[in-house]
Chains A and B, each alone.
Chain A
Amino acid sequence: MSDHIYLDYNATTPMDPRVLDAMLPFFVERFGNAASRSHQFGWEAEEAVKIARGHVADLIGADEKEIIFTSGATESDNLAIKGTVEMLASKGKHVVTCVTEHKAVLDSCKYLESKGEAEVTWLEVDSHGRVSPERVAAALRDDTVLITLMTANNEIGTIHPIREIGEIARERGIWFHTDATQAVAKMPFDVDALNVDMASLSGHKIYGPKGVGALYVRRKNPRVRLAPQIHGGGHERGMRSGTLNVPGIVGLGEACRIAKLDFEKDQAHYRRLRDRMERLIRESLDHVQLNGDEEHRLPTTFNVSFAYVEGESLIMGIPLVAVSSGSACTSASLEPSYVLRALGIGDDMAHSSIRFSVGRFTTENQVDEAAKTVIQTVKRLRDMSPLYEMAMEGIDISQVKWKTH
């Protein structure tokens, strides 16, 4: 894999070696159950979990008592949404979310809707993928119990105005959950500054292990209590039962500690390399369209459509560069990305989209090499693209009557 260039950090990250070092003792030597109160093995594990909880809390400006460990952000999203709707059933059943959320949020909401347990308002986004606070405010009802909106989008990196939306939620006394999976460690994220009541995060997006995540649950003003979705021994303040994944939690904690320690350095690194990638590509190719919000965007993410070139064929031409595409052909459903569609960019441009996401271990050489290969391949594919040929002849492709399926 040494020749391969990984530019898909929004999908997952390699573990930081420092994280692995922190985890290793907890598999064989220090294997205790954190719930065992009667011996050294248990106390050791409990202590390690406590330290990790502190690191997670520290990174997002929370108190350690407000961190619930889960198996990952999908579970955190499920717990926040279903747990709120169930807990507040007597108060109301209206939930506000938006169409570009992660499937973990969309499908949790759809599930509750199908069961008749929730009525959901699905907010549209603007052409940059943002929801305005005004739009959120307009959707609220007397029986609204939850607003759930991601901080930053995984595909396009667009950042919602979370602080302003949190303010509205606070004023109206509505709980506010944000899926912060992509945001944490990539942008300043503080639960108090952003007026957030619940926040989901994941280990493997921030150089920690897979299979572990957390849900921040506010304890004061408001005091958020969630109906558990996994029942058992009453772990995690009764909100998430199950023996704690001690090595995973230690890993997540260490990943958060490092993320805080290296925050400024990481930020500068992400931005420099992402901007370099963007500049190299834009300098050499025309008809390149940015998907998302140029300004309100994660520093790691660059999502573009290379007009007249289909995404899967482009990926095929850059086998050593790992990226993802919004093209239908790369998805199981054969539908182009629902996120890109929600921006109204047109299915043709969705088919032509590629997401580049850089990370802590990306190097300048890798960016240069990847940009070179992408540029060559786009040029080659445009040379064999009938659409490019038509565009060069001055034909407006959107006006052509296609013989469609």
Chain B
Amino acid sequence: MAYSDKVLDHYENPRNVGSLDKNDTRVGTGVVGAPECGDVMKLQIRVNEKGIIEDAKFKTFGCGSAIASSSLATEWVKGKTVDEALKIKNTDIVEELALPPVKIHCSVLAEDAIRAALSDYRAKQGTPVATPGTNAH
């Protein structure tokens, strides 16, 4: 299977691997996927007082495309507000990484991970957002 250069780059040099303190009220954590499906993503964001996502971390169990999708997702959410981050679509990830059709689910999972993390953050802030269809599809 041939991977795009961007997938290879994220796989070899993943951005923002790691974990934030999940008990921090300014940190939102999203864990999506399942081991038996072959991919699990954990994506975390930390939002500063101005409502900007100042840090993001991920850990992923999955194929190279899943790793690249979540790595890219952390890059993209950084510096955005929660509302802006919610606008990131899986199709943007597909396009950026030139994912083949069989790998589109990796991008869907990355979008789910962003939404789950944002949702967790907002819940902690007492302003939960509905995230329709994000965790089950």
Q: Which residues of A contact B (CB under 8 A)?
A: 308-310, 312-313, 316-317, 327-330, 334, 336, 346-348, 351, 383-389, 397, 402-405
Are B37 and A313 in contact, CB atoms less than 8 angstroms apart?
no
B48-56, B61-69, B76-84, B86-94 - interface stretch: B61-69
CB distance from A163 to the nearest CB of B (A): 37
CB distance from A384 to the nearest CB of B (A): 5
Which 7 pairs from chain A and chain B are nearest by CB?
A348-B35, A402-B34, A347-B36, A386-B42, A386-B59, A312-B63, A403-B135
CB distance from B18 to the nearest CB of A (A): 8
Interface flags, B32-49, vs A, CB<8A=1, else 0: 111111111110000000
Are A328 and B137 in contact, CB atoms less than 8 angstroms apart?
no
Interface centre among A336, A346, A397, A404 (most CB of B within 10 A): A404
B20 at the interface (CB under 8 A from A): no
Are A387 and B14 in contact, CB atoms less than 8 angstroms apart?
no
- Given the complex of chains A and B, what is the CA–CA distance between A405 and B135 in angstroms? 8
- Given the complex of chains A and B, what is the CA–CA distance between A385 and B40 in angstroms? 8
- Given the complex of chains A and B, what is the CA–CA distance between A397 and B40 in angstroms? 11
Known contacts A385-B60, A386-B60, A404 near B34 by CB under 8 Å: yes
Can you report 16 A-B residue pairs in the complex whose CB atoms are below 8 A from each other? Answer: A310-B63, A312-B64, A313-B11, A313-B64, A313-B66, A316-B3, A327-B63, A329-B63, A347-B37, A348-B38, A384-B60, A386-B31, A386-B61, A403-B135, A404-B37, A405-B37
Are B33 and A402 in contact, CB atoms less than 8 angstroms apart?
yes
A330 nearest in chain B by CB position:
B1
CB distance from A344 to the nearest CB of B (A): 13
- Given the complex of chains A and B, what is the CA–CA distance between A397 and B92 in angstroms? 32
Are B62 and A310 in contact, CB atoms less than 8 angstroms apart?
yes
Known contacts A313-B11, A386-B59, A328 near B38 by CB under 8 Å: yes
- Given the complex of chains A and B, what is the CA–CA distance between A329 and B17 in angstroms? 22
- Contact partners of B116 in chain A: CB under 8 A: 403
B105 at the interface (CB under 8 A from A): yes
- Given contacts A317-B11, A388-B61, A389-B19, list 20 more A-B pairs with CB under 8 A: A308-B61, A309-B61, A310-B66, A312-B63, A330-B1, A347-B36, A351-B35, A384-B58, A384-B60, A385-B61, A386-B41, A386-B59, A387-B61, A402-B34, A402-B35, A402-B40, A403-B32, A403-B112, A405-B33, A405-B137
CB distance from A350 to the nearest CB of B (A): 9
Are B63 and A313 in contact, CB atoms less than 8 angstroms apart?
yes
B130 at the interface (CB under 8 A from A): no
Interface size of B by Cβ–Cβ distance < 8 Å?
34
Q: Which of B1-27 contact A (CB under 8 A)?
A: 1, 3, 11, 14, 17, 19
Q: Which of B105-137 contact A (CB under 8 A)?
A: 105, 112, 116, 135-137
Main secondary structure of the interface of A (DSSP, over half): helix
CB distance from A42 to the nearest CB of B (A): 47
Are B42 and A316 in contact, CB atoms less than 8 angstroms apart?
no
- Given the complex of chains A and B, what is the CA–CA distance between A346 and B34 in angstroms? 12
Known contacts A313-B67, A316-B64, A327 near B38 by CB under 8 Å: yes
CB distance from A325 to the nearest CB of B (A): 10
Are B67 and A403 in contact, CB atoms less than 8 angstroms apart?
no
- Contact partners of B37 in chain A: CB under 8 A: 347, 404-405
Are A403 and B59 in contact, CB atoms less than 8 angstroms apart?
no
Known contacts A310-B39, A313-B11, A316-B11, A405 near B34 by CB under 8 Å: yes
- Given the complex of chains A and B, what is the CA–CA distance between A313 and B68 in angstroms? 11
- Given the complex of chains A and B, what is the CA–CA distance between A336 and B3 in angstroms? 20
- Given the complex of chains A and B, what is the CA–CA distance between A348 and B61 in angstroms? 10
- Contact partners of B36 in chain A: CB under 8 A: 346-348, 351, 402, 404
Are B102 and A334 in contact, CB atoms less than 8 angstroms apart?
yes
- Contact partners of A329 in chain B: CB under 8 A: 38, 63
CB distance from A79 to the nearest CB of B (A): 34
- Given the complex of chains A and B, what is the CA–CA distance between A262 and B119 in angstroms? 65
- Given the complex of chains A and B, what is the CA–CA distance between A384 and B11 in angstroms? 11
- Given the complex of chains A and B, what is the CA–CA distance between A290 and B87 in angstroms? 44
- Contact partners of B11 in chain A: CB under 8 A: 313, 316-317
Are B35 and A387 in contact, CB atoms less than 8 angstroms apart?
yes
- Contact partners of B105 in chain A: CB under 8 A: 405
Are B17 and A384 in contact, CB atoms less than 8 angstroms apart?
yes
- Given the complex of chains A and B, what is the CA–CA distance between A150 and B40 in angstroms? 36
Instruction: Report which of B3, B38, B135 forms a contact with A310, defined as CB distance below 8 A.
Output: B38
